[in-house]
Structures are given as structure tokens and as C-alpha cells.
Structure 1
Amino acid sequence: MLDNLPRGTICIEDIEMGMVRHVQKVVTDQDIEMFAQISTDRNPVHLDDDYAQDTIFEGRIAHGMLTAGLISAVIGEQLPGHGTVYLGQTLKFLAPVRPGDMVRAEVEVIDIDIAKRRVTLDCRCLVGGKKVLIGEAKVLAPSRKFD
């Protein structure tokens, strides 16, 4: 179940420095299995309890890109939203996400180039208030001039 703000579009003309949007989602075993099937990444650290117990994580973890995908959901659905084009993304994984964890993915506007319709977003994912992923996205925002 997703907990988020209304979906839609914020055009470049209406984007402001410091704007923040988020989505929250509990990562389930089903999410991990579906991501493994879609991505073809069937690393046993994600899927096999016995195998994962003997790793540095001492248990199964979600795919890092599954967690990062929640950032994409915020960008594509809320800020800027529908019509946004991803130009680039940096990611740094700080801690594992485990099945059952509630992940809060947040994006915050840190730079705007209205003439080029480019927006830079600070991105972070948190579990229990602790950052598990940080990064920065550059996007091409939609504009009312191109509707």
C-alpha cells in the first residue's frame, strides 16, 4: 500500500526551490520476487533465507534498485510528475532494506534552470528515519508551453 501525495504534474513554471514530495511503501516478499523476475536478478541474497543468513547482511535484503525505483515513482508521479524525462541519477546505498521495511522515498528540489526546463533533485530513501539510500537526479520537467 502506497502512502503519498496526489499524483499528477507540476510544470517547470510552478516548481520552487525546496519543494519536497514523497512516497511510502512496505517492501514485501512479493515485491522482491516480482523485481527478481522482471530484472532477472535472482541473487540468492534476495531470495534464499539460508544463503542470505551467511552473508554480511545476516538475512535477506531487497534489491537496491527496487528501493531506488521508489524515487522514480516520486519523480514520475509527483515532482515534477507526468511528462518528466529522467536525464540522470546518482545513487549511494547506505544500508540494506529488508522484507517488511517501510521505505519513505523523498525528493527535494535543489536547483532549477527554467530556461532549459532542468531540475535537480536531492533524493533519499529512509527506513525508520535512517537514510538507506541517497542520491541526486537531474530531470527535464514538463512545461505549460509544450501542452
Structure 2
Amino acid sequence: MLLGKKRELGRKVEEIKIGEKLKLTEKIEDKDLLLYLGLTNDSNPLYIQHDFAAQTTFGKPVVPNIMLTGILTSAVSKYVPGPGSYITGQQLKFLKPIHHYATIDFLLEVVEVNIDHNEVIVQVEGVDENGEIAVQGQITANPPRIVE
């Protein structure tokens, strides 16, 4: 944690350009799943119990979609536009399940910048190890504004 440490604000809307891209690679580990389940008290056996998931069409436990959403919104908060950003909307489609231990390549691209409304729209996509799109959509965020 960065408690007590002053952080630099992310970029202002005027500094962001359409076409900017960011690529992240995330590997889903047991610790990530257990933290999510503990934090949310989500006890869906599809997320953690192999014997239960084996009875479903998924065949094995899947990663909760909200975890994938968290990875994407975290990237907006950290990088595009960065610290101080406020997410105002998201529209995501989960096209296929992600299983435990998967490695996902996420691509974020700025597709719209509205200076008057202090808003950016970031197109997002997550591709699995087979090169298949697992998640895609858009996140809308307000970059930080400096108080003067």
C-alpha cells in the first residue's frame, strides 16, 4: 500500500490521444481467486470446486467475470488515464469462460477523447492462450482534474 505517500496524478484529458494502446498479460493464480472469494463472500462452487464444475458444461472451475472486470478497471486506474481516474461506465461481453491458471493478454486502446466532458473511452479486449477473444467491450473514465 502507498498510505501516507503522495502519488502523482494520471494524465489530464488534454494529454491523452486517440489510438494510445496498452497491453497487459495476467496469469490467474489460486491466490487471486481465493482473495476474490474471501472479499466478496461469493460461494459459487463453479469458481472453486473441481468436482462440482466437472458436472457442468464448463468441465472445470472458471474465473469469475468480475475478476476479469477488476483487472481491466485496474489498468485504467493505473495507466490509461492513470491515478485519479474515475470510471463512469463499462460495457463488457464475456464471450468464453476463463479457467484457473489461464494466461490472458489484455489490450486497451483509447478510442474516444472528449475534452469538454473530461471523458475518455477505452476499448478493451482479453485474449486467451488459444488466441480466442474471451472478453471485449469499453470502459468510460474521467481522467483526473487538478484542483488549482
TM-score normalised over the length of structure 2:
0.87
- Deviation at 1:8? 6.8
For the Cα contact (< 8 Å) 1:26–1:101, is it kept in 2? yes
Q: Tell me which residue corresponds to 1:112.
A: 113
Partner deviation per Cα, 1:26-60 (whole Å, 9 max, x = no partner): 10122111111111111001110000011110111
CA distance in 1, matches of 2:69, 2:125: 9
Corresponding position of 2:3: none
2:45 equivalent to 1:25: no
Is 1:131 the counterpart of 2:129 in the alignment? no
Q: Which residue of 2 is the match for residue 78 of structure 1?
A: 79
1:60 counterpart letter in structure 2: P
Distance 1:134 1:53 in 2: 27
Work out the CA distance in 1 between the residues paired with 2:97 and 2:147: 41
In 1: Cα distance, 2:66 partner to 2:141 partner: 18
1:117/1:141 contact within 8 Å kept:
yes
- Which 5+ residue runs of structure 2 have no aligned equivalent? 1-7
Equivalents in 1 of 2:40, 2:137: separation in Å? Answer: 21
**8 Å contact from structure 1 (residues 23, 70) kept in 2:** no
Contact 1:8 1:77 in 2 (8 A): no
**Identical-pair percentage:** 21
Instruction: In structure 2, give the amino acid aligned to 1:79.
Output: V
Quick one: which amino acid aligns to residue 9 of structure 1?
Answer: G
Q: How does 1:1-147 map to 2 (within 5 A)?
A: 9-128=10-129, 129-143=131-145, 145-146=146-147
Gap regions ≥5 residues in structure 1: 1-6
Quick check: 72-81 or 19-28, which moved more? Answer: 19-28
> Aligned partner of 1:102: which letter?
T
Deviation of 1:14 after TM superposition, in Å, equals: 1.2
Which aligned segments of 4 or more residues in structure 1 are displaced greater than 6 angstroms?
Answer: none
* Post-superposition CA distance 1:44-85 (Å, at most 9, x none): 011100000111101111111111111011100000000101
Partner of 2:4: none
Contact 2:109 2:123 survives alignment (8 Å): yes
RMSD over aligned CA atoms reads 1.7
- Report if aligned partners of 1:76, 1:84 keep a CA contact under 8 Å in 2: yes
Whole-angstrom distance in 1 between the partners of 2:42 and 2:93: 19
Supply the AA of the counterpart residue of 1:139. A
